[in-house]
Amino acid sequence: MIDVRMLCLGALMGREASGYDIKKELERGSSAGLIDASFGSIYPALARLAEEGFIAARSEGGRGRGDKKLYTLTPDGEAFFLRTLSGPVPDEKYRSPFLFAMLFTSCLPRERVRAMIDRQIAAWEDKLAAVDETSAAMPPSAGLNFVRGFADVTLRAGLDHLRRHRAALEAAAKVSDTPAPVRPLTEAVPTEPAVAAE
């Protein structure tokens, strides 16, 4: 379970923060590019955690900024967080629209494939730069080092692979109005030769 509640509790480990702060942290802090959540899920999560007694709120209204609510973990909250973290680790989820699209290169126009690849390379390069940059600016800890390093090597491997294979992908793509060689997403070894019949 890594729902927004866990994200919030994690962000509050050893620090006081508002919903807004948490969102910023997810966007530009140590988890930049790895995890994200919208205000629409963060605020209700905080409200519920407060109700449950896992976090405590302190209003910082007054002077400058409007009504800011700073949350802190309660002992209960920290215990709950650590207990949940120690529980069963759910499977990872990776969903890549780009990879999915690449499965169908042979049915897509070549320029389109080219454009997608360009955008993906740019996106991964950006992410890589962001990871390396924020890593440098962060106090080192074994966990942080590991996670940032993971993002780094993994992105590099992906980029490298894509660069090496882009020619093949583009070559397989459809040139303008070539009758698309639609091959099914097969399940292992389709034993019937296409000629077959009877």
Residue 62 binds which one of DNA, a second copy, none, with CB within 5 to 8 A depending on kind? none
Do 151 and 33 form a contact (C-beta atoms < 8 A)? Answer: yes
Answer with the entry of DNA, a second copy, none that 187 interacts with (C-beta below 5 to 8 A by kind): a second copy
**From the list DNA, a second copy, none, which binds 44 (C-beta under 5 to 8 Å, kind-based)?**
DNA
CA-derived radius of gyration, the chain: 23
Q: Which stretch, 43-51, 99-107, 147-155, 174-182, contacts DNA (CB under 7 A)?
A: 43-51
Cβ partners under 8 Å of residue 190, min gap 6: 184
Q: Which does 130 bind (CB under 5 to 8 A by kind): a second copy, DNA, none?
A: none
Rule CB under 8 A: is residue 129 a binding residue for a second copy? Answer: no
* Contact between 39 and a second copy per CB under 8 A: no
Number of residues that bind DNA (CB under 7 A): 27
Q: Does 20 bind a second copy (CB under 8 A)?
A: no
User: Under rule CB under 7 A, which residues in 147-176 are in contact with DNA?
Assistant: none
Residue 43 engages DNA in binding (rule: CB under 7 A): yes
Q: Does 72 bind DNA (CB under 7 A)?
A: no
Closer residue to a second copy, CB minimum distance, 67 or 188: 188
Judged by beta carbon, residue 14 or residue 51, the one nearer a second copy is 14
Among 44, 53, 140, 149, binds DNA (CB under 7 A): 44
CA dihedral 144, 146, 149, 154 (to 10 degrees): -120
How many CA atoms are closer than 13 Å to the CA of 137, on its beta-carbon side?
Answer: 11
Find out whether 8 and 17 touch, Cβ atoms under 8 Å: no
Binding status of residue 97 toward DNA by CB under 7 A = no
What's the CA gap between 80 and 87, in Å, rounded?
11
Stretch that binds DNA, among 17-25, 104-112, 141-149, 154-162 (CB under 7 A): 17-25
Got the DSSP string for 135-166?
HHTS---HHHHHHHHHHHHHHHHHHHHHHHHH
Q: Are 69 and 49 in contact (CB under 8 A)?
A: no
Considering all CA atoms of the chain, what is the largest pairwise distance in Å, rounded to the nearest integer?
A: 85
The binding site for DNA (CB under 7 A) comprises 1-5, 18-21, 24, 36-41, 43-47, 64-69
